[in-house]
Chain A
Amino acid sequence: MPPVANTIVSILFDGLAWAMFLFIMSVGLSVTMGLMGVVNLAHGAFAMAGGYLVITATAKWGVPFLPSLLITFVAVGLVSVLLERSLYSQLYGASELDQVLLTIGLTFMVIAIYTYFYGPQPQSIRVPSYLLGELHLGDRSFPTYRVFLIVVGAALVAVLWYGFEGTKIGAMIRAAVDNRRMAQSVGINVDRLFTMTFAVGSGLAALGGGLASQLLGLTPSFAVIYLVFFLLVVAVGGSGSVWGTLAGALVLGISDTAGKYLFADAGSFVIYAVAVLILLVRPAGLYGRE
């Protein structure tokens, strides 16, 4: 393969893997924000909790890696419902500022609790050997775990696409994002919809946390250090939309990777510069409505 093509393949592949991670982490945040206008800064805390659950399940309880991801998705999703019903539900209609304060407070507490039980040392996860090493395709080789990440991401996109576009609940969610009052007046129980999307979104964040700890390591601070990226993806994509989140994740994931690959000095700038340029032109995001 000529070097230029080789470079492009590298960037696209690594960018796609990174974009899938960003998508899995951000999609729940985006839809809940679009649905109820809730700014949930504790979203990263669910991801962190998911990472620790996967590690505990695989290392302590002997659950294989793939089932433990599923368990994590369900368990964190259920716990998030408890929190949503007890804490978040008190905030509907409250000012954004109150939501920010409450969810940051929740994040602080969760970080302290996890530090207490797991300590501040980074935890490593043992992924099964069939996910390690490289896959050979033609004269190129690709890290297996990243291929796995892309496959999981693509599968989730397909499932969410069907759920959003092909089911009645999906139609109800879309209607409620478009116009909540109208949706309520035709008898849609928006509160219950919200609880459901919140649970799915938090479960997905937990799944993302479980998948990411192999790449990024896991400490209790995982709850906050990647939050900025999730906000970027949601804003660039436009809140309340699965497609928007996917588009935002792809644009930012691939441009971030390209920037880091191509510019030794200023690679970390690129993701922010791209986000700023897009938002200056389209303040509501790629798929948002003005």
Chain B
Amino acid sequence: MDASRPLAPAVGGDEVAAARSRALAFLVRRDRYRLAEGLPWIAAIAAFFIFPNQMILGGQTLIMILFALSLDLILGYAGIVTLGHAAYFGLGAYAAALLITDLHWSEPFSGLACAAVVAAIGGFFSGLILLRYRGLALLVLTLSTTIMLQQFGNLFRDFTGGYDGIPGITIAPLFGRFHYDLYGHTYYLYCLGVLFVASFVVRRIVYSPFGQALVGIRENDARMHALGSPVHWRLVVAYTISAAVAGVAGALFAQTNTLVTLGVFDFDQSAAVLMMLILGGAGWLYGGFVGATLYMVLQNELAKLSPEFWQFGIGALLIAVVLANRHRLFGRFARRVRALGFGAKP
């Protein structure tokens, strides 16, 4: 909306006019950068210095944050619940891996771009068909196609390496200069940089008119139809972008793990990213940050305490969060956090 153009003349006196101008000011202001939005990034950089021995975990966490961010675009903003997002993560991972092992092109950033394109193509064509469905049908459709993709990969073992995967994925030094150390420091900074750029892009999309249309679809899809909004096409575009970002996350995983197996398509993977996102809060740009960090770090630390029974702790956490949320224990806290300026829930 063009802020300089006046809205239709106020008919209800001063109060309505004032409300209108407040609304207008809100719309103009809401996508401004706030100081508090720097917090996650400061935390991520601080972690680099405080936990130098755990940067592989750090890198994996950043990758899951990126994966959760991609899911947020389609689930949190457009309100489409799927159980097959691992498909695009996996496509990206394999694209990045095969580029190195089969085509001998090992420059990391072009690997990410290649993965994004492959995953986006997959997202576009599957989205064209799948996004006509909702609810349980969509859950089962996305779940089944991902499992079929995995089994398909297992049939073409010579190409995918099957469940033993493609080992020895070695990317060229970053910018041709920085090598990858055992401690994972270079990997961590690489992932952080990619996550930063991707978050910036997703943020722009979310606060664009296109992003508003997605929220409109989430809130009232019939009304968006009535308004003449091309609902299906908007969803397909959002799904394609989401798949591309998931593909980048997958490519980062392949590049930093140096091994990619058909396990990337596991149902567990789709379920885990969904859990992380819900845990941190869907429909909020930093939901993935909170959820993935909480889940990954807690899982790692609990598994150190008890390699056998750590799931008990994670389960208790999930239940506690849902119940606390239900009884609005976090309500005031969450409002405070939002008031800090992480961006209101659109």
Residues of A whose CB lies within 8 Å of any CB of B are 33, 87, 90-91, 94, 96-98, 100-102, 104-113, 115-116, 120, 228, 231-232, 234-236, 239, 265-266, 268-269, 272-273, 275-276, 279-280, 283-285
Contact = CB atoms under 8 A, between A and B. Distances in A.
Contact of B140 (A100, A232, A265): A232
A116 B282 CA distance: 34
- 10 A-B pairs with least C-beta separation: A105-B318, A108-B315, A112-B312, A109-B315, A235-B140, A283-B137, A105-B319, A272-B144, A102-B322, A108-B311
Interface stretch (B3-11, B241-249, B267-275): B267-275
A106 B155 contact: no
A200 B198 CA distance: 48
Nearest to B306: A112
Contact of B137 (A111, A112, A228, A235): A235
A108 B133 contact: no
Contacts of A96: 81
B151 A268 contact: yes
Contacts of B139: 231, 235
Contacts of A280: 129, 133, 141
B145 interface: yes
A125 B87 CA distance: 38
B144 A275 contact: yes
Nearest to B279: A101
Contacts of B278: 97-98, 100-101
Contact of A232 (B135, B144, B282, B322): B144
Contacts of B135: 283
B155 to A, nearest CB: 7
Nearest to B277: A97
A239 B136 contact: yes
Contact of B322 (A98, A115, A275, A284): A98
Main secondary structure, interface of B, reads helix
B304 interface: no
A273 B148 contact: yes
Contact of A97 (B81, B148, B267, B311): B81
Contacts of A98: 278, 322, 325-326
Contacts of B326: 90-91, 94, 98
B189 interface: no
Interface string B125-169: 000010001111101110111011001100100000000000000
B317 interface: yes
16 contacts: A91-B322, A96-B81, A101-B275, A101-B279, A108-B314, A108-B315, A112-B309, A113-B312, A116-B309, A231-B140, A234-B136, A266-B155, A273-B144, A279-B133, A279-B137, A279-B140
A111 B309 CA distance: 9
B321 interface: yes
Nearest to B143: A228
Contacts of A228: 143, 147, 267
Nearest to B310: A112
Given A96-B81, A101-B275, A101-B278, 16 more contacts: A97-B282, A100-B278, A101-B279, A104-B271, A105-B315, A105-B319, A112-B311, A115-B309, A231-B136, A231-B143, A232-B144, A235-B139, A239-B136, A269-B152, A276-B145, A285-B137
A111 B311 contact: yes
B76 to A, nearest CB: 10
B219 to A, nearest CB: 13
Contact of B316 (A33, A109, A276): A109
A275 B144 CA distance: 8
A185 to B, nearest CB: 25
B339 interface: no
A87 B319 contact: yes
Main secondary structure, interface of A, reads helix
A279 B47 CA distance: 46
B323 interface: yes
Contact of B147 (A239, A272, A279, A284): A272
Interface string B15-43: 00000000000000000000000000000
Interface in B59-103: 81
Contacts of A111: 311
Contact of A106 (B136, B148, B308, B315): B315
Nearest to A274: B144
A32 to B, nearest CB: 13
Nearest to B319: A105
A269 B148 contact: yes
A268 B321 CA distance: 37
B141 A279 contact: yes
Nearest to A273: B148
Nearest to B137: A283
A101 B321 contact: yes
Contacts of A120: 308
Contacts of A231: 136, 139-140, 143
Nearest to A266: B155
Given A98-B278, A228-B267, A276-B145, A108 B312 contact: yes
A109 B319 contact: yes
Contact of B319 (A102, A269, A275, A284): A102
Contacts of B316: 105, 109
A104 B312 contact: no
A72 B245 CA distance: 47
Contacts of A104: 271, 275, 315, 318
Contacts of B141: 276, 279-280
Contacts of B143: 228, 231
